[in-house]
Amino acid sequence: MENASMISTLNIKGEVRYDEPMMSHTSWRAGGKADRYCVPADIDDLSLLLKSLPEDEDLLWVGLGSNTLIRDGGFHGTVIATQGVMMQLERRENNCVYVGAGVSSAKLARFCAGEGLSGAAFFAGIPGLVGGALAMNAGAFGGETWRHVVSVETMDRHGVIHNRLPDDYRIAYRSVEGPEDEWFVSALLKFDAVATESINIKQLLVKRAETQPTGTANCGSVFRNPENDYAARLIEQCGLKGKRIGGAVVSEKHANFIINDQQATASDIEGLIKLVQKTVREQAGVVLQTEVKIVGEKQS
C-alpha cells in the first residue's frame, strides 16, 4: 500500500490508524473499515497532513458521523476526523460569532444564547458539527445555516486556507456547491442583537425528543423534503413506518428516520433507503433525494 506507507511516515502530531472500523465513528453504528483514519492534533497538523497526501487520494471528512453511511466493504482512502479540531468559538463585533468547523452545532446554539444573540437556537436540533452544517446547509425548526453566513474559511487538499464569501457558493435547500476540493474550517456567522426567541433551546430539544427517535442509532433525517411537502408524510402515507430490512427499520415515531436497532449492516440500511425511494416513487410519484452521504465499497 504505497499511500499507506507514505502517510505512516508523516511527521504529524496527531494519530494515524489503519483498517479502522468506521461503525465506531458514525451515528448509525454500521459500516466497514477505513484504510486510514487520521486525527490531526490541530489545524496546522491538518494542513501538514493534506500537503503530504497523494493528489489522487480519496478523502472523507467525518465529524460526528451523523450524516454518513459507509458501506460494508469499507472506505479505500483516508478519513480525516475533525471532532476535537478547529474548536474556536468567540463573539465578534456586529453580533457575529466566529466558529470553528469542529464545534458541535448544539454548542454553538448554547454559546449564542449565553451571549444574548437570537436566531441560533435551531442549531441545537442539528446532530453534527458546524463543518457538516456548512457543507449541506443543515437546518432544523425552520432555520438554515447559510442564512447566517457572513464568510467562511476553507482548506484545500494542499493545506492552503482560503477566505470565501457566500457569493462563491450556490446555496439551496440542503445543498451547497462551491470550489472543488475545499473543506470548511471556520465561519463567521451573524445573528440578531437581542435574544427574542419565542421558543428557547430547552423547548426545542423537548419538541425534538417528542417527535424524533432520539437515543437510537440513526443519522437524523434520511431524505430531503420535496418542495411543498414532507418526506415523512409521504413515507407514512405509503405504509412504510416499521418497515424492516435485517436490523434496519423505518422509525415508528418519525418516518424520515431509519434506525439501526438489531445490529444492522450498512447493506441493510442502504437497502431500506432504496426500498423507501422505490415505494414512494411508485405510489406517490415523488422521487425522494437523500440527505445522507453514502460512500465506500459494497462488500463482495
174 assigned to active site: yes
Write the burial class of residue 158 (CB in 10 Å: 0-12 exposed, 13-18 middle, 19+ buried).
exposed
CA dist 96 and 106 (Å) reads: 17
Residue from 27, 221, 251, 267 carrying the catalytic annotation: 221
CA dist 67 and 37 (Å) reads: 18
8 A C-beta contact, residue 15 and residue 7: no
Indicate the pairing of strand 59-62 with strand 68-70: unpaired
Residue type, 181: D
Beta bridge partners of 135: none
Cite the DSSP H helix spans in the chain: 2-8, 43-52, 105-114, 130-136, 201-211, 231-237, 266-284
8 A C-beta contact, residue 164 and residue 123: no
Residue from 174, 182, 224, 267 carrying the catalytic annotation: 174
CA dihedral of residues 202, 231, 127, 269 (deg, nearest 10)? 140
Beta bridge partners of 59: 78
Cα 130 to chain center, whole Å?
A: 8
Cell numbers linked to 42: 490541530
The residue assigned the cell 453580533 is 95
Q: Which residues are catalytic?
A: 174, 221, 291
